[in-house]
A and B are shown apart, each in its own frame.
Chain A
Amino acid sequence: MSDAFWIIGTGFLVAASCGLLGVFLLLKKVTMIGDAISHSVLPGIVIAVMLSGSLSSIWVFIGAGLAGFVAVLIIDLLKNKFKLQNDASLGLTFTVMFALGVVLISSYVGDVHIDQECVLYGEITFLPLSESVVWNGKELGPKTFFNLLGNFVLVGIMLIFFFKEFKVSSFDPGFSALSGIGPHRYHLLLLGLVSLTTVASFEAVGSILVVSFLVGPPLAAYQISRNLSQMLVFTLGFGLLASIFGYFFALKLNSSISASMALFSGIIFALIYLIKGLFLSNWNPFMKRDVVESGFFEP
């Protein structure tokens, strides 16, 4: 398996997991929470790395999970006990936690290669050189890849299993509450999955670029999808495209691969938006086919 395969594959897994979850964040109009979560988990990751000495251990997930939990607690505390407004509670909590994380990194002198730049944009370039998973004495591939694969599978299973529930609670929370499907429960589940995915993606793309994958492909898919399933499929497709194009662009330009992939997530949306606006302005995904075919309505 060539290096390109592992790198693009890892990028795709990040884009795919984030994208699938990002679809629901987008529909609920809470995309910025993804940004907040990815910032907040940093101190948890750093502390876990400091204690466990490795970037890919299970402790990282636990630490980050705890950090995410603490963040939610603090935000809730600020909003309800201190009556601080929603956006400020969010902003305050995640910036302070992120600052804490950065300070911890800068004061930490250790074995593990973790530094400020890593936090920002990960080290997907070094992926093929990093620790590998060994099975039956054969080197299977980079550990991060499999972490992300596992994460992707988890996200996929959750979405398939709870598809109905996620769908209803995202589109119509009131109705879902009446139908016995507690929207709050699934909202928390969604945010939990986002936290998990952020952590899994940390080594590959760092803390901040994750947001691109959470918003870019879903936003692009949203423009041209007729229903939720279409949107999810398109998101996966766009995630793949972003990974591929990002990889080759970065190689050509000799720049950061993860950042390029993130950049392309956004570019794809821009392209779709422009194409739709300039050439297909009379078309929308909900148009009935026979209306178009009758020739009466020209796209």
Chain B
Amino acid sequence: MSLTSSLAGTFVFLRKESLLGDVLSHAVFPGVCISFLIAGEKDNFVILIGATITGIIAISLIQYLGNKPKVKQDAALAFVLSTFFALGIVILAYMQNLGISGQSGLETFLFGSAASILLEDFWFFIPAFILVLTLFGLFYKELKLVSFDRKFGIISGISSRTTDMVIGIMALLAIVTGIQAMGVVLMASLMIIPPAIGRTMSVTLKKMIIIAMLTASLGSIAGTYFSSTMTGAPTGPWIVLFLGCIAIIAFIFSPTRGLISRRISALRQETKIRSEHILKSMYKGQEDGKMPEFKGSKDSRGLNSLRTKGLVERVEGRFRLTESGREEGRRLVRLHRLWELYLTKKMGIQADHVHEDADSVEHIISGDVEELLLEVLDHPQKDPHDQEIPYGK
């Protein structure tokens, strides 16, 4: 179940339509209710049909209404969700008051109860998963393309209606598989949270899917186990809580996009810029004889980084540029002045406005861009402030 949902959910997530999963999972509820009404008991086959029919009606309604100018997408989603769900509750209450025997089984569909899943249910779960997997395999390229860049997909000749339908079917299968354990109300989270975790933890689609499926399984197993040890505890919410915890951990500790790694790389970047500025000011100090002063922890971090790189050395308690440090400083000053010249000459910007911009850009100008600049500016000698552009040997 979790595998199916996370797989289908990944694409829904990528298309930024996660709320659609929420709406759909609420919307299949009346279908489940009606099938209970007809069958009088929990009959997987009838439930499947009922849920699918309602699901298809819901999807079509959302598509239809979502395009109407007087309704638009968000209202269409909210309308379908609430009205369908209300219908389901009306039927449920009706059955409850009539004392129809099957209705307690129906209630488990609201918040999920793993305990109510029987072995024979797997006859449905497994084929459903295989079907989703098949669709996934068949349409992988198209789904990937359309999810990331819809317009390009349309231009490339991939019918967006077909892919929409495929994703819709996958989502529907996932939902129908999952509602018994998760419940209608919380089903959507199984399709939202694992993909979100996967997204945070990886950059490639394949890895994202794998991580999503792993976390979904982990969360479901943990949640199911936990809730079964407590009497009367519904499975759905516990699974969601576990998934939520995993999500928090992932968001903080994730290697590339997590909070901690972001902080670290931001710090690293800051040190780099700071040390390059230090180099520049030391070089300029050599030019005009005014030695710069450094204070504060950020500066000392920059200086230390420069020392480790061998660009600066400590002599008699003061700092001095090494040979390579001087070259690097010269390069930075050159880039700075070249960029300033470029801005004034080619972009028509006033000379007193260019300094700050150059201060930022000088750190990212690479060798080939430098070549281009020299060409475009015709190997100039002076910058807009009439300072010499140092070339060195």
Contact = CB atoms under 8 A, between A and B. Distances in A.
Given A34-B78, A212-B86, A87 B19 contact: yes
Interface in A63-89: 78, 81-88
A81 B192 contact: no
A31 B189 contact: no
Interface in B20-52: 21-22, 26
Nearest to A87: B18
A7 interface: no
Contacts, number: 178
Sorting the interface of chain A by its residue count into under 10, 10 to 19, 20 to 34 or 35 or more gives 35 or more
Interface string B248-280: 000100000101000000000000000000000
B108 to A, nearest CB: 11
A30 B16 contact: no
Overall SS of chain A's interface: helix
Given A116-B234, A209-B86, A82 B257 contact: yes
Contact of B86 (A30, A88, A223, A266): A266
B72 A29 contact: yes
Interface stretch (B92-100, B150-158, B357-365): B92-100
Contact of A92 (B98, B196, B232): B196
A31 B80 CA distance: 12
Contacts of A267: 83
A120 B89 contact: yes
Nearest to A218: B75
A103 B393 CA distance: 72
A92 B189 contact: yes
Given A106-B233, A219-B79, A92 B193 contact: yes
A107 interface: yes
A106 B234 contact: yes
B275 to A, nearest CB: 27
A135 to B, nearest CB: 33
A7 to B, nearest CB: 15
B339 interface: no
A29 B76 CA distance: 10
Overall SS of chain B's interface: helix
Contact of A219 (B13, B17, B71, B90): B71
Contacts of A265: 82-83, 86
Contact of B241 (A83, A88, A99, A120): A99
Interface of A: 26, 29-32, 34-35, 78, 81-88, 90-92, 95-96, 98-100, 102-103, 106-107, 116-117, 120-121, 208-209, 211-212, 214-216, 219, 222-223, 250, 253-256, 259-260, 262-263, 265-267, 269-270
19 contacts: A31-B77, A32-B77, A35-B78, A87-B18, A88-B16, A92-B193, A92-B247, A96-B243, A99-B236, A99-B241, A99-B244, A100-B241, A102-B236, A211-B78, A216-B79, A216-B83, A254-B98, A255-B91, A255-B97
Given A30-B74, A96-B243, A265-B82, 17 more contacts: A31-B75, A91-B189, A96-B193, A96-B247, A98-B237, A102-B237, A103-B238, A106-B234, A116-B110, A116-B111, A117-B107, A215-B82, A216-B79, A216-B83, A255-B93, A255-B94, A259-B93
